[in-house]
């Protein structure tokens, strides 16, 4: 069911054969659409390779740390055999630490810009297996390293901002520095150089990662309406796709006249009315339903494309469960019908931008991996991350084929997480940093939730394509530790999120 690593093109047998809950005819169309992602284009022969600029695709699995990759790979029976395990990919780790742990709002002057020393990633602190027996509550610390990882955790706003602006900030900061001053983003740089800019997610269009990648700014990530308005009005974004639809619930059920509607994610009620009426002053074309996405994956595309999936918060993760989503394995709960999957929304975004010779900057987020982790739902973590990996494979097959003029010679793909969560093996409360337990393909791996929020641990980083080797020089620190029981741990060479920015900024700036 997956595109095999290294294969040049997707064929029918390598694509998902069914999308639970989707009518059969629609499944067929989606399959054809997914295929066309990697199929010959009539225009391909008309354009010389030298006439193209460069494009950047940033793929972020929100909260998609090492445990997430381990869990999904174990469940799929593909440990060490994911597409990013192929030798063409540069493999490193990334630090995601915040500027400070408190206050999580702007602070004035020099003090507001100062890096808090204790928050800086430090292998000795991260991997401290000294027992921490005093701690109690729903999530005891167990070990000092766990405690440090929880105490110094970043969030999706300041980590995405670090990648997008090159500046570290406080938790909740959206493309502003520690003083709360707006910073120039990669999206704005890309736009100035004539590139198209797109953002795609499985969570609301103005949620932290999407808003940061879309070039919006605010002193707090919670200002959804303001962030959405900036994304719609600033002229930076050409494509925005995600959830947060006021007219539908989390199961894609339409809201009735008496139901409460939440308009914040789409910029408020007035903005939503304009978008629905097709009279938004910035000229956005709004699509919502699966057939509209299928249609928009080929043929003419509008200059400004806004996709708001017909769900209130997440594409799938928040849907109802037949039992307890904390314990159910992936796939038992039927997927909500009528909601375009990430593989398709990503394809729609690429299609809307691929004819632009100067190139494009696209961020694709598996946003609800993080939501499933907050809810300690292992099955849904695997579901969400599987969809993210399938999307990565589709992107990879598109560039392998190169039929639309975009291939690995003029496109850079990076795959990473914005931050980690704290969960390890089934006995990791007594065995520090115990790896997840592989119970075979199709079986939920052994794991234990050590927290219901983020951690400061390093996250994986993969890059392939033009300039991918440039990250290696930045990865000048090594994560390595020896635990009391003699086990060697650590993630090897790592760079910082601000250094991802340095490479991308140099590549996207005008004249580059
Ligand atoms: Zn989170």
pLDDT tens track for 466-487? 999 999 999 999 999 999 889 9
pLDDT of amino acid 317: 97
What is the separation of C-alpha 165 from the centre of its chain, rounded to a whole number of angstroms? 17
For residues 85-96, average pLDDT: 98
Checking if the pLDDT of 28 tops 90, the result is no
- Of the candidates 238, 187, 503, the residue with the CA atom closest to the CA atom of residue 356: 238
Give the pLDDT band (50/70/90) at residue 511. confident
* 183 C-alpha to ligand 1 centroid (Å): 23
* 316 C-alpha to ligand 1 centroid (Å): 16
Strands (DSSP E) found in 102-175:
131-132, 142-143
* 369 C-alpha to ligand 1 centroid (Å): 9
Checking if the pLDDT of 153 tops 80, the result is yes
Q: Which residue has the tokens 């069914």?
A: 18
- Of the candidates 308, 328, 104, the residue with the CA atom closest to the CA atom of residue 220: 104
* 453 C-alpha to ligand 1 centroid (Å): 6
Q: What is the percent of the chain where pLDDT is above 90? A: 88
Give the pLDDT band (50/70/90) at residue 146. very high
* 370 C-alpha to ligand 1 centroid (Å): 5
List the structure tokens of 205. Answer: 């269009």
Q: What is the pTM of this model?
A: 0.91
Spatial strand order of the sheet with 411-416 comes to 285-287, 305-308, 239-243, 196-204, 360-366, 55-61, 411-416, 459-465, 90-95, 488-496, 477-482
* 329 C-alpha to ligand 1 centroid (Å): 21
Burial 446-474 (b: 16+ CB within 10 A, else e): bbbbbbeebbbbbbbbbbbbbbbebbeeb
What is the separation of C-alpha 73 from the centre of its chain, rounded to a whole number of angstroms? 18
Q: What is the pLDDT of residues 265-300, one digit of tens each?
A: 999 999 999 999 999 999 999 999 999 999 999 999
Checking if the pLDDT of 29 tops 50, the result is no
Checking if the pLDDT of 34 tops 60, the result is no
For residues 101-130, average pLDDT: 97
* 128 C-alpha to ligand 1 centroid (Å): 24
Burial 32-69 (b: 16+ CB within 10 A, else e): ebbbbbbbebeeeeeeeeeebbbbbbbbbbbbbbbbbb
- Of the candidates 295, 298, 336, 343, the residue with the CA atom closest to the CA atom of residue 319: 336
Q: CB within 8 A of 380, min separation 6: which ones?
A: 316, 317, 325, 330, 368, 372
With H, G, I as helix, E, B as strand and everything else as coil, classify residue 57. Answer: strand
Checking if the pLDDT of 111 tops 60, the result is yes
Checking if the pLDDT of 368 tops 90, the result is yes
* 398 C-alpha to ligand 1 centroid (Å): 30
* 156 C-alpha to ligand 1 centroid (Å): 6
């Amino acid at each position: 069911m997956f595109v095999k690593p290294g294969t040049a093109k997707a064929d029918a047998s390598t694509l998902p054969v069914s999308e639970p809950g989707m009518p059969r005819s629609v499944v067929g169309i989606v399959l054809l659409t997914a295929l066309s992602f990697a199929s010959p284009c009539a225009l391909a022969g008309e354009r010389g390779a030298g006439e193209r600029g460069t494009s950047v695709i940033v793929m972020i699995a929100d909260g998609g740390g090492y445990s997430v990759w381990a869990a999904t790979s174990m469940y799929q029976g593909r440990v060490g055999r994911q597409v990013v395990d192929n030798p063409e990919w540069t493999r490193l780790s990334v630090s995601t630490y915040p500027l400070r742990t408190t206050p999580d709002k702007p602070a004035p002057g020099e003090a507001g810009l100062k890096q808090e020393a204790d928050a800086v990633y430090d292998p000795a602190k991260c991997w401290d297996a000294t027992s921490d027996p005093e701690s109690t509550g729903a999530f005891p610390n167990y070990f000092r390293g766990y405690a440090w990882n929880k105490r110094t955790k970043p969030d999706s706003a300041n980590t995405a901002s670090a990648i997008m602006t090159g500046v570290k900030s406080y938790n909740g900061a959206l493309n502003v520095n520690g003083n709360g001053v707006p910073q120039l983003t990669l999206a704005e740089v890309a736009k100035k150089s004539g590139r198209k800019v797109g953002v795609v997610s499985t969570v609301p269009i103005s949620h932290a990662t999407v808003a940061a990648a879309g070039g919006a700014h605010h002193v707090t990530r919670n200002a959804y309406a303001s962030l959405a308005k900036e994304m719609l009005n600033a002229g930076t974004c050409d494509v925005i796709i995600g959830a947060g639809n006021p007219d539908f619930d989390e199961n894609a059920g339409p809201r009735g006249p008496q139901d409460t509607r939440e308009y914040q994610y789409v910029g408020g009620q007035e903005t939503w009315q304009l978008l629905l009426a097709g009279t938004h002053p910035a000229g956005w074309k709004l699509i919502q339903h699966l057939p509209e996405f299928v249609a928009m994956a080929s043929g003419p595309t509008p200059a400004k494309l806004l996709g708001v999936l017909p769900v209130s918060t997440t594409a799938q993760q928040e849907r109802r469960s037949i039992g307890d989503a904390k314990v159910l394995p992936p796939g038992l709960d039927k997927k909500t019908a009528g909601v375009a999957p990430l593989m398709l929304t990503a394809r729609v975004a690429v299609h809307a931008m691929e004819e632009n010779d100067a190139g494009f900057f696209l961020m694709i987020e598996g946003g609800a991996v993080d939501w499933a982790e907050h809810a300690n739902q292992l099955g849904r973590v695997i579901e969400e991350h599987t969809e993210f990996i399938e999307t990565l494979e589709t992107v990879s097959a598109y560039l392998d084929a190169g039929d639309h003029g975009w291939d690995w010679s003029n496109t850079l793909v990076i795959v990473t997480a914005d931050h980690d969560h704290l969960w390890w093996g089934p006995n990791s409360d007594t065995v520090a940093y115990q790896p997840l337990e592989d119970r075979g393909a199709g079986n939920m791996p052994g794991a234990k939730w050590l927290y219901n929020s983020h951690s400061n641990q390093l996250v994986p980083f993969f890059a392939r394509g033009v300039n991918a080797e440039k990250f290696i020089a930045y990865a000048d620190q090594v994560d390595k530790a020896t635990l009391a029981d003699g086990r060697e741990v650590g993630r090897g060479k790592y760079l910082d999120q601000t250094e991802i920015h340095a490479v991308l900024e140099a590549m996207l700036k005008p004249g580059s």
